[in-house]
Amino acid sequence: MFIAIRELEFRPLDFREEIRPGAIDLGPDIEQKSPLEASGHADLVEEHHGKHQIIKDIRLKGDLSTRLQVACARCLEPVKHDVTRRFDLLYRPQGSDAGHEELSVTDAEAEIGYYRGDGLELEDVLREQVLLALPLKSLCRQDCKGLCAHCGKNLNEAQCSCTSVEEDPRWIALKDIRKKLE
Ligand SMILES: [Zn+2]
Ligand SMILES: [Zn+2]
């Protein structure tokens, strides 16, 4: 859904979108497991700069929810996240800040981004908000033991027979020789 400045000049816009898994590219590591529900409101905000310049901003308020699946940072098992996020964003035309650092910010609460051309693609905003809603690092559980660095076994499921101490490479070489002799 494209939010066009030209339309906002006539009236504010309400949106309610349901985005099926796969419709938004969240990258190779994140899987969307349920439809992404988003609803909210888009407004035109005019910033008067000096006497003649009016900067047209888009203010986007709303919330979203969906269910995502990522890999545990330690053991790579799938971890599900029910994600909800409320957003209040202000988009300025790209380049409008150049040389005008003192532009009055309409609302200090709003996060500021930039749009290019005639408006804003709602899906791009939602993608960014979904990614921000995810923790940087996901663990399947707080005390996940991860994978053994030697044999790759999932240590939550079973202890492997590798020694936990880093082995001396000379011993490994000896072991290899012994294996060959056996
Ligand atoms: Zn884990
Ligand atoms: Zn091991």
Closest residue by Cα to residue 91 from 131, 58, 63, 49: 58
Ligand 1: centre distance to CA 59 (Å): 39
Q: Which ligand is nearest to the CA of 138?
A: 1
Q: Which ligand is nearest to the CA of 160?
A: 2
* pLDDT tens-digit map of 131-178: 999 988 999 999 999 999 999 999 999 999 887 555 666 777 777 777
Lowest mean per-residue pLDDT among 26-30, 32-36, 80-84, 111-115: 111-115
Residue 71: pLDDT band (50, 70, 90) is very high
The reported pTM is 0.78
Does the pLDDT of residue 88 top 80, yes or no? yes
Residue 181: pLDDT band (50, 70, 90) is confident
d(CA 114, CA 99): 16
Residues, Cβ < 5 Å to ion ligand 1: 72, 74-75, 140, 144
Q: What is the pLDDT of residue 165?
A: 59
Contact 47, 103 (CB under 8 A): yes
* pLDDT tens-digit map of 47-70: 888 888 888 999 999 999 999 999
Q: What is the pLDDT of residue 178?
A: 77
Ligand 1: centre distance to CA 22 (Å): 25
d(CA 171, CA 175): 6
Tokens of 26: 């969240």
Contact 126, 64 (CB under 8 A): yes
Q: Which ligand is nearest to the CA of 158?
A: 2
Q: Which ligand is nearest to the CA of 167?
A: 2
Contact 159, 146 (CB under 8 A): no
Contact 170, 161 (CB under 8 A): no
| Ordered DSSP codes for 31-95 | EE-SPEEEEEEEEEEEEEETTTEEEEEEEEEEEEEEEEEEE-TTT--EEEEEEEEEEEEEEEETT
Does the pLDDT of residue 74 top 50, yes or no? yes
Average pLDDT over residues 90-101: 72
Ligand 1: centre distance to CA 3 (Å): 40
Q: Which ligand is nearest to the CA of 142?
A: 1
Average pLDDT over residues 14-34: 94
Q: Which ligand is nearest to the CA of 161?
A: 2
Closest residue by Cα to residue 92 from 130, 50, 49: 49
Contact 134, 81 (CB under 8 A): yes
